[in-house]
Structure 1
Amino acid sequence: MFEVKKPEHINKTLRLPLELVRRLEKVAQDKNVSLNSLVIQCCEYALDNLDCANSSNEN
């Protein structure tokens, strides 16, 4: 039987610099995606490409 799956989400409030938001909004508009989708993709990309050797020293 077909089962519709709903991804789990949580709402968070973040304070971002105005110029960063403007840049993100421009890219989202140019690429025809939502701002939310773009931010998720940017965060996932940054985390996937994080230099783990440096990040382990910061903890």
Structure 2
Amino acid sequence: MLEFEKGFETVNKTFRIPVEIADQLEQLAGKYNTSVNKIVIQCLEYALAHTAENTTQPEV
């Protein structure tokens, strides 16, 4: 289930993304009755939290 924070400081940035991804983001936003911006924020937070630098992996 998608969950969104409220009340955080923001900054405006411009990104170019493939049309197919933009379409998928818009579909998700419609499905959850929210904005594409909120969907993008959650996707970015998830990606950042799950990068190799932020995950603990057992040493070999």
TM-score bucket (shorter structure)? 0.7 to 0.9
Percentage identity across aligned positions? 44
Which structure's residues are more often helix, by fraction?
A: 1
Structure with the larger RCO, 1 or 2 (CA within 8 Å, 6+ apart): 2
* Paired positions, count: 48
Give unpaired runs (5+ residues) of structure 1.
Answer: 1-5, 54-59
TM-score by length of 2: 0.72
The structure having more radius of gyration, on CA atoms, is: 1
- Between the aligned partners of 2:11 and 2:29, the Cα distance in structure 1 is 21
Structure 2: gaps of 5 or more residues: 1-6, 55-60
Q: Which consecutive segments of 4 or more residues in structure 1 shift more than 2 A?
A: none
* TM-score, structure 1 normalization: 0.73
